[in-house]
Amino acid sequence: EREPLHVFCIHLYIHITEASGDPNVLHKAKPFAELLPKLMPGAPHLVHMAFHTLMHTGGYHVSEVDNARAASLPRQIYPLHNLDTLAWVCRVEGRRGCSLTVAMRLERLALPLVKQGLFETGFPAGRFVAQRLLTLVAFGLWDEILAADAPLSCSEHFTCGIWHFARGAAQAHQGRPAAALAELQALQRERRAVVSSMATRPKWAWRNFNGSTEFGVYPAGDLLELACLELQARTSHAKGHQDGELAAWRAAAALEAGLPYDEPPAWYLPTSTRLGAALARAGQRKEAWEMFNSTLQKFPHDGWALFGMVRLCEEAASASEAAQPREAQHVDCQQLQRRFAQAWRHADVRLVGPDQAPELIQQAPAGAAALTPGLAHGPLRLQPSMGAALAVASVFLALLVGANFRAVRPGASCSARSARCPLRGAC
């Protein structure tokens, strides 16, 4: 309050409030978060930082703009993290082209790091490689998934597990439950290998955090268990086993809710939304409403959850009052539709049917101007809005702020590894 333009204090303020789960705290932090990129327009990490708050307050398109800028600036500290964030934001906005373009670039940049066993911002590089496959799942691009080769020829168990998950989801959606079950069994093998490797304790950075040599503190085993549960749900749906599907979705949502806080979230889209869609298909409207609402409590203006609520609201108009969710009895459906339209205004897909299947809009809406395609082939050259001297100072401060958070591999100094690292600062 005494120094509202103090960049370092704003940075720390964002960090200490982002995981609070308290809307009042988050909305109090929001103006400061939105101010930080303007104060330090030449520092990539500080341009990105607003997302830590806006993720919880619904400022997704602002976050897309910020992270596209952050990913385009020179002197990157966390280049993969910026792109990972951008891919997640675009998924939540329903922007298939943006999310897939960014995820493809992320995969290309991260693959060399996986081979070297390197980390960025505490994340193993396999997390970033997996984002392309998870984006294909999010947008239902099943043929593309089945045509995709295994990443790294499945030499790394986590990314190989995600590959089997994506293939299983595609097989289930296309009505081949036996093939989906085979992929599930392969996914379970990869998960067991990951869990086994996580028992290896390091003699370096993660030792005091109960981390592992290969994955640090990243919950790779839990994420592959989540993938197993989701694939079980999808396979049960393909078989027409509704009870098994709902049980698996519930278990997946519970597991995701227990994951450590992360930004962007560790899983590609909230599982509670897909559980809500399954419950709605089963006619369990009250619990479906609760699931969609639980997503919105964490991620306000999430269009996927709002779409599910709109459908429930429309269906409730023809249902008896006793069958309606109590909350839905007093909801203005038109107001809910306006909220969805606002959240989805930049999307290049439309959601159709009870499964929330994304369908490409041939003519993207006017508000969906592409901010990110240039990232596919190289950084966008955006000029900071302030002078060169401020940009240099911004980069210097960002380097100071970020230096203590970079994870390094044992046995080599960062300077020694920088010569081998394809991304400046990613070591």
Is residue 149 a part of any domain in this protein?
yes
Is residue 189 a part of any domain in this protein?
yes
Single out the residue of 301, 296, 323, 297 nearest to residue 312, CA to CA.
323
User: What's the rounded Cα separation, in Å, for the pair 103 and 86?
Assistant: 9
Average pLDDT, the chain: 82
Cβ burial of 112 (10 Å; 0-12, 13-18, 19+) is: middle
3-class secondary structure for 290-346?
HHHHHHHHHCCCCHHHHHHHHHHHHHHCCCCHHHCCCHHHHCCHHHHHHHHHHHCCC
- What pLDDT score was predicted for residue 217? 79
* Residue-number span of the structural domain to which 257 is assigned: 96-269
Is residue 308 a part of any domain in this protein?
no
- What pLDDT score was predicted for residue 203? 61
- What confidence tier does 120 reach under pLDDT thresholds 50, 70, 90? confident
335, pLDDT greater than 70: yes
pTM: 0.82
Q: Take residue 346 and report the two structure tokens written for it.
A: 């930049």
- What pLDDT score was predicted for residue 28? 93
Single out the residue of 44, 127, 135, 131 nearest to residue 92, CA to CA.
135
Cβ burial of 328 (10 Å; 0-12, 13-18, 19+) is: buried
In the chain, the number of structural domains is 1
Q: What tens digit of pLDDT does each residue of 125-136 get?
A: 999 999 999 999
When mean pLDDT is compared across 108-122, 387-401, 403-417, the lowest value belongs to: 403-417
- For β-strands 357-360 and 349-352, DSSP reports them as antiparallel
Is residue 251 a part of any domain in this protein?
yes
- What pLDDT score was predicted for residue 272? 97
Q: What tens digit of pLDDT does each residue of 11-40 get?
A: 999 999 999 989 999 999 999 999 999 999
- What confidence tier does 87 reach under pLDDT thresholds 50, 70, 90? very high
Q: What tens digit of pLDDT does each residue of 343-388 get?
A: 999 999 999 887 788 888 865 554 444 444 444 333 333 333 333 3
For 59, other C-beta atoms within 10 Å of its C-beta total: 21
- What confidence tier does 398 reach under pLDDT thresholds 50, 70, 90? very low
Is residue 28 a part of any domain in this protein?
no
Q: What tens digit of pLDDT does each residue of 169-194 get?
A: 999 999 999 999 999 999 999 999 99
User: What's the rounded Cα separation, in Å, for the pair 389 and 374?
Assistant: 27
- What pLDDT score was predicted for residue 3? 79
- C-alpha dihedral (213, 216, 217, 221), degrees to nearest 10: -70
* Percentage of the chain modeled with pLDDT above 90: 63
Helix (H) or strand (E) holding 352: strand 349-352
- What pLDDT score was predicted for residue 264? 94
- For β-strands 119-120 and 123-124, DSSP reports them as antiparallel
Q: Mean pLDDT over residues 326-330, rounded? A: 57
- What pLDDT score was predicted for residue 197? 85
- What confidence tier does 229 reach under pLDDT thresholds 50, 70, 90? very high
Q: Mean pLDDT over residues 380-401, rounded? A: 36
295, pLDDT greater than 70: yes
319 close to 284: Cβ distance less than 8 angstroms: no
Is residue 135 a part of any domain in this protein?
yes
Is residue 244 a part of any domain in this protein?
yes
Q: Mean pLDDT over residues 67-76, rounded? A: 92
Count of CA atoms in the C-beta half-sphere (13 A) of 121: 19
100, pLDDT greater than 80: yes
Number of continuous H segments (helices) and E segments (strands) in the chain = 20, 4
Is residue 170 a part of any domain in this protein?
yes
Cβ burial of 387 (10 Å; 0-12, 13-18, 19+) is: exposed
59, pLDDT greater than 80: yes
- What pLDDT score was predicted for residue 314? 87
Q: What tens digit of pLDDT does each residue of 265-286 get?
A: 999 999 999 999 999 999 999 9
CA angle at 116 for the pair 380 and 193, rounded to the nearest 5°? 115
- What confidence tier does 254 reach under pLDDT thresholds 50, 70, 90? very high
Count of CA atoms in the C-beta half-sphere (13 A) of 131: 36
- What pLDDT score was predicted for residue 362? 60
- What pLDDT score was predicted for residue 50? 94
- What pLDDT score was predicted for residue 303? 95
- The owner of tokens 């960002």 is 398
